[in-house]
C-alpha cells in the first residue's frame, strides 16, 4: 500500500506518525524494548498528546530476530496466527549504552541509535548486521503508524521500511508468475483464483529472500502489502492494518541457510511417498469419462510402455451440481470399489478431486447447515454463493466437529481404495464471514488454505501412516509447505504460460515449498504437439509430474504419435534418476531447501544467476533449461564449475552463455561435478 505522493509528500487522506527517535531502551527478560515517539522530545511537555510506538526485539531461534511494532497494546490479539517455533535454549546478548542498544542472536544483531544531542535528536535508525556486516536498516520515516481516511472511514496501519543496497535483489513472496526478481513490484499477500497470467496468486507467502544474505518474514495471516523498490526505489516497505506489525529478520548468510532457518520457524515439508514422484495421469476437467474411458487410458499407457504411477479422477467423478457430496456418480461409475480395485491391480495409485465447498443440491448440505459446519454470514445464516457450484456453502475448518465430519467423509473413500486427494480451491473465501472460533475473517481468508490442507493431510497420515500422505494442493499460505504436494494452477497452453509457470515454481520454492508440479501442456486450451512435447520435458524434470487439462484428454497419443515416444523417454529418464531425486527430496524434508531451485539459490556469488528465470537446478547437481520456442532454440547460462552433459557425456569447465537447438527428446541438461549418471542405463518403473 502506498502512503506517499512522491518522496516528500503524503497522499491525500493520510496522516503519518513516524518514529522520530529512540527515546529510551530497556531490557525485559529476553526482550529489548525501545520506545519511539513521533516527535522530538525536548521538554516534558513534548511527552503529552502524541503517539508512542513500542518496538520489541526478541529471538525465537538463533540467528532469527523478531521485531514487534505496536501502537496500542490493549487490543484483543487477532486470530488466526501462524504457528511459529520458539527455542529457549540460548540467551540473546542485550546491551544498552548511552549511544544506543544492541540485541544479538548468534551472528545476527540490531543496533538502535539513541538521540544524544539536539543535533542528533531527529534520528530514527536501526541497523541490522550479519557477522558485523550491514544487511539492511531503517531510518527516518521508515517505521510508522498511519491513519488513512477513505470514503469517510478511518483505517489504521503499521508500516515498516527496510533499505535496499545497490544491486540488492528481492525474491519469493509466494508462487508469483511475474518476474523472478521482485524489485519494482507492488505485491499484496492475498490468495486469489486468478490463473497464472496476472499479478494475483493462489499461494501468497509474506516472506522474501534478499541476495544480501538475509530474509524477512512478516508474521501476519491477513493482507500484507509490499512495496519492493516501488514506492521508494531504495526500500522495501510492508504494511498491515491494525495496531501491531510483527516481522522477523532471518540471517543466512547463504540463501539456502535463510530458507533453512525460515522453515525451522514455520515448518518443513513432509516427505512424500516414493510413488508420487512418478507420472500422474488425469481424466482432465470437463471431459466425458466413465470406466471404459478410464481403463482405456491406463491400459493405453501400459501398452505403450509408459510407466504410470497415479491415475487421477477430476471433478466429474461426482455428479454435476452436487460438488461435493463425495459420492461416485452412479450413471458412469456404478461400481466404485470395483473400478478402484481393478486400477490398483495394475500397480497404479488413485487420486480423486475434492474441494472444501458443499453445493446446495448435495445431500450433505442440510446436514452441514443443521450442525453448524459452514462459514456463516453476520446474521447467522449460512454463507452461500453460486460462483462454482449452485448455492454452495464453505466448510468451517475452525470448527473441530466440522473437521471430523469432513474427514470422516474422505475416510470412506480411502477405505475403498483411494490413495490421495487433489485439494483444489480454497482461495475465494469471504471477508465478511463469521467463523466458529471467532477468528478475524480477513486473516482467515489466506489462512483458510492452511486449515483445509492440514485437515486432509493429517487424515491421510492417520489412515496411511507417516511418510505415505500426499495431497495435490492449489492454495497455500505460510506454513502450507508442511503439506505437499502443490501445483501451479490454471495456466494456458502456450509457451508464454509455460515460462510464467516456471517463474511461479521458482518463487514458491524460495519460500520453502519443497515439492511442486504443474499441468503438462497447460490447463486451458489444447496444446499443439510442439508445445506439448517441450512441456513434457519440463514437467518430467520437475519434482512431481502430471498430465492434466481442462477440456481435452491429455493422453500423449491424442496429441500426436511422437508425443507418446517423448512421454515414454522422459518418464523413463526421470525413473532412471529416482535415487538422486529421493536424496534431493530428503534434503527438502530435512532442511526446507526446494527440489526445484532458482539458479541464484545454488550460485549466490555468481551475479549472472541473479535474474535467471528460464532455467533451474533440480536439486544441487542437475541444471535444466526447458525449451520455450517452437523451433527448439534455447539460450541458457552455465555457471563456473565442472559439468557433464547428461545426454552426450560432453565435459566442460567453461562457464558462460550457450545457444543451442534441441530435438524433442533433448534439452540442455547438465550434471554438476559428475555426481549422477550422465546417461540413462536401466530405466525402472516407479510403482507403489
Burial group, residue 457, by CB count within 10 angstroms (0-12, 13-18, 19+):
buried
Cell numbers at residue 685, please? 518403473
Q: What is the rounded (10 degree) CA torsion for 462, 466, 470, 474?
A: 80
Q: Exposure of 548 by Cβ count < 10 A (0-12 exposed, 13-18 middle, 19+ buried)?
A: buried
The span from the CA of 675 to the CA of 104, in Å, is 39
Q: Is-contact 393 383, C-beta < 8 A?
A: yes
Q: Which of 38, 260, 396, 424 is labelled catalytic?
A: 424
CB 170 within 8 A of CB 163: no
Cell numbers given for 147? 491513519
**Residue 158 forms beta bridges with which residues?**
145, 240
Active site residue 427: yes
Cα 486 to Cα 374, 477, 502, 544: the distances in Å are 25, 11, 13, 9
- 303 is a catalytic site residue: no
Q: C-alpha grid cell for residue 135?
A: 544487511
CA angle 629, 635, 640 (to 5 degrees): 150
- The verdict on whether omega for the bond into residue 324 sits within 30 degrees of 0, i.e. cis, is yes
Q: State how far the Cα of 143 lies from the Cα of 165, in Å rounded to an integer.
A: 18
Tell me how many degrees the CA angle 32-38-43 measures, rounded to the nearest 5: 95
Is the distance from CB of 581 to CB of 677 less than 8 angstroms? no
Spatial neighbors of 485 by CB under 8 A, at least 6 apart, are: 272, 276, 470, 471, 472, 473, 515, 516, 517, 543, 544
Of the residues 427, 500, 519, 602, which is catalytic? 427
Q: Is 86 a catalytic residue?
A: no
Q: At what angle do helices 336-344 and 291-303 cross, to 10 degrees?
A: 0
Residue 460: CB atoms within 10 Å: 25
SS3 50: coil
Residues 63, 251 contacting (CB under 8 angstroms): yes
Active-site residue identified among 490, 492, 519, 602: 490
Active site residues: 424, 427, 490
Amino acid at each position: 500500500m502506498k502512503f506517499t505522493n512522491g518522496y516528500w509528500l503524503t497522499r491525500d487522506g493520510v496522516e503519518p506518525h513516524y518514529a522520530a527517535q529512540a527515546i529510551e531502551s530497556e531490557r525485559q527478560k529476553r526482550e529489548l524494548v525501545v520506545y519511539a515517539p513521533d516527535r522530538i522530545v525536548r521538554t516534558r511537555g513534548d511527552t503529552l498528546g502524541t503517539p508512542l510506538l513500542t518496538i520489541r526485539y526478541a529471538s525465537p531461534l538463533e540467528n532469527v530476530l523478531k521485531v514487534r511494532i505496536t501502537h496500542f497494546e490493549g487490543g484483543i490479539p487477532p486470530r488466526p496466527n501462524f504457528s511459529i517455533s520458539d527455542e529457549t535454549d540460548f540467551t540473546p546478548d542485550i546491551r544498552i549504552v548511552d549511544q544506543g542498544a544492541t540485541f544479538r542472536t548468534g551472528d545476527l544483531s540490531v543496533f538502535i541509535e539513541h538521540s544524544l544531542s539536539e543535533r542528533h535528536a531527529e534520528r530514527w535508525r536501526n541497523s541490522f548486521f550479519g557477522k558485523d556486516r550491514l544487511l539492511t536498516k531503517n531510518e527516518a520515516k521508515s517505521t510508522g503508524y498511519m491513519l488513512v481516511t477513505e470514503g469517510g472511514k478511518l483505517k489504521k496501519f503499521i508500516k515498516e521500511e527496510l533499505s535496499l543496497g545497490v544491486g540488492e535483489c528481492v525474491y519469493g513472496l509466494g508462487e508469483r508468475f511475474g518476474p523472478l526478481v521482485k524489485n519494482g513490484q507492488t505485491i499484496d499477500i492475498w490468495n486469489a483464483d486468478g490463473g497464472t497470467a496476472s499479478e494475483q496468486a493462489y499461494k501468497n507467502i509474506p516472506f522474501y529472500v534478499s541476495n544480501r544474505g538475509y530474509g524477512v518474514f512478516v508474521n501476519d495471516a491477513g493482507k500484507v502489502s509490499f512495496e519492493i523498490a516501488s514506492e521508494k526505489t531504495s526500500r522495501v516497505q510492508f504494511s498491515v492494518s491494525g495496531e501491531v506489525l510483527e516481522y522477523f529478520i532471518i540471517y543466512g548468510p547463504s540463501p539456502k541457510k535463510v530458507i533453512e532457518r525460515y522453515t525451522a520457524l514455520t515448518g518443513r515439508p513432509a516427505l512424500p511417498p516414493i510413488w508420487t514422484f512418478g507420472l500422474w495421469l488425469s481424466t482432465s476437467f470437463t471431459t466425458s469419462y466413465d470406466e471404459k474411458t478410464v481403463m482405456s487410458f491406463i491400459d493405453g499407457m501400459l501398452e505403450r510402455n509408459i510407466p504410470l504411477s497415479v491415475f487421477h479422477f477430476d471433478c466429474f467423478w461426482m455428479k454435476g451440481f452436487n460438488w461435493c457430496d463425495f459420492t461416485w456418480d452412479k450413471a458412469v461409475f456404478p461400481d466404485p470399489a470395483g473400478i478402484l480395485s481393478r486400477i490398483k491391480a495394475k500397480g497404479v495409485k488413485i487420486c480423486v478431486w475434492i474441494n472444501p465447498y458443499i453445493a446446495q443440491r448435495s445431500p450433505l448440505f442440510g446436514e452441514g447447515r443443521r450442525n453448524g459446519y459452514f462459514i456463516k454470514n453476520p446474521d447467522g445464516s449460512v454463507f452461500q454463493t453460486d460462483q462454482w457450484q449452485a448455492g454452495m456453502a464453505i466448510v468451517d475448518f475452525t470448527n473441530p466437529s466440522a473437521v471430523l465430519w469432513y474427514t470422516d467423509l474422505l475416510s470412506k473413500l480411502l477405505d475403498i481404495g483411494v490413495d490421495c486427494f487433489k485439494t483444489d480451491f480454497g482461495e475465494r473465501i469471504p471477508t465478511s464471514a463469521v467463523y466458529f472460533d471467532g477468528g478475524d475473517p480477513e486473516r482467515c481468508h489466506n489462512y483458510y488454505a492452511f486449515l483445509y490442507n492440514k485437515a486432509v493431510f493429517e487424515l491421510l497420515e492417520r489412515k496411511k501412516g507417516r511418510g505415505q500422505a500426499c495431497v495435490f494442493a492449489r492454495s497455500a499460505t505460510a506454513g502450507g509447505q508442511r503439506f505437499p504436494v502443490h501445483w501451479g494452477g490454471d495456466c494456458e497452453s502456450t509457451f508464454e504460460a509455460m515460462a510464467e509457470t516456471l517463474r511461479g515454481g521458482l518463487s514458491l520454492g524460495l519460500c520453502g515449498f519443497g515439492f511442486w508440479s504443474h499441468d503438462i501442456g497447460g490447463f486451458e486450451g489444447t496444446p499443439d504437439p510442439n508445445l506439448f512435447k517441450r512441456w513434457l520435458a519440463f514437467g518430467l524434470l520437475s519434482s512431481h509430474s502430471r498430465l492434466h487439462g481442462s477440456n481435452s484428454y491429455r493422453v500423449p497419443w491424442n496429441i500426436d504419435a511422437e508425443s507418446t515416444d517423448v512421454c515414454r523417454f522422459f518418464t523413463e529418464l526421470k525413473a532412471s534418476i529416482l535415487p538422486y531425486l529421493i536424496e534431493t527430496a530428503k534434503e527438502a524434508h530435512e532442511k526446507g531447501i526446494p527440489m526445484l531451485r532458482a539458479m541464484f539459490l545454488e550460485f549466490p556469488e555468481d551475479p549472472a544467476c541473479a535474474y535467471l528465470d528460464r532455467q533451474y537446478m533440480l536439486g544441487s547437481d542437475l541444471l535444466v533449461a526447458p525449451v520455450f520456442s517452437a523451433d527448439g532454440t534455447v539460450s541458457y547460462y552455465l555457471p563456473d564449475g565442472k559439468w557433464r552433459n547428461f545426454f552426450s557425456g560432453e565435459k566442460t569447465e567453461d562457464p558462460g552463455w550457450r545457444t543451442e537447438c534441441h530435438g524433442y527428446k533433448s534439452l540442455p541438461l547438465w550434471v554438476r561435478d559428475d555426481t549422477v549418471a550422465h546417461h540413462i542405463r536401466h530405466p525402472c518403473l516407479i510403482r507403489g
